[in-house]
Amino acid sequence: MTLGSAADLVHELKSKGYKITRQREAILKVLSSDECRLMTAQQIYEEVNATMPGTNFSTVYRNLEVLTQENIVQKIEINRDAAYYELAPDRDHHHHHLICKSCGSIKTTDFCPFEAMKDEDGFMPVEHRFEVYGYCKNCKQ
């Protein structure tokens, strides 16, 4: 699976029968921008409106839902304040999160505990979440 560029993702959506709107393109562009992104709907909304002014909050939410269902985006519910979204593991490299309890910054780590896990009586694992909370380099004085 190729690491998703915005254009690739647009193409993929199209081939699945979805229409390509300027709003949809803007959202995909934000999500697949260079740096590793873990964003709230609010943040995505703001960045999208920088290129596509007038785009509605509902539109962002509805598209994030479509993208999540099509497994292009992964929804992460770290805390109840707001859900986070990022490119799905298939599109990006598999990783986990280091979350600073002080400044809220989120780093990614390649360490994955999943392989080490022994069989759990009868349970068939499909997905997993591993998040570490602590203090980042700047905040740990």
Partner DNA sequence: CTCGTTGCAAAGGCTTTGCAACGGC
Partner DNA sequence: GCCGTTGCAAAGCCTTTGCAACGAG
Q: Is the dihedral of CA 87, 48, 39, 136 positive or negative?
A: positive
Dihedrals φ, ψ of 17, to 5°?
Answer: 95, 5
Residues 78-137 close enough to bind DNA by CB under 7 A: 80-83
Instruction: Give the one residue of 28, 37, 38, 63 binding DNA; rule: CB under 7 A.
Output: 63
Cβ closer to its own copies: 32 or 74? Answer: 74
Is 3 a binder of DNA (CB under 7 A)?
no
Q: Binding partner of residue 123 among its own copies, DNA, none, CB under 5 to 8 Å per kind?
A: its own copies
Cβ closer to DNA: 71 or 138? Answer: 71
Task: Determine the straight-line distance between the first and last CA of the chain, rounded to whole angstroms.
Answer: 41
Q: Residues 8, 29: contact at Cβ < 8 Å?
A: no
Cβ closer to DNA: 77 or 121? Answer: 77
What are the C-alpha distances in Å from 38 to residues 16, 74, 86? 25, 10, 5
Number of residues that bind its own copies (CB under 8 A): 35
Is 24 a binder of DNA (CB under 7 A)?
yes
Residue 88-127 contact track with its own copies, rule CB under 8 A, x = bound: ----------x-xx-----x-x-x-xx-xxx-xxxxxxxx
- What is the distance between the alpha carbons of residues 84 and 37, in angstroms, rounded to a whole number? 10
Contacts of 100 (CB under 8 A, 6+ apart): 106, 107, 133, 134, 135, 136, 139
> Minimum distance from CB of 53 to DNA (Å)?
9
Instruction: Give the one residue of 83, 85, 86, 93 binding its own copies; rule: CB under 8 A.
Output: 83
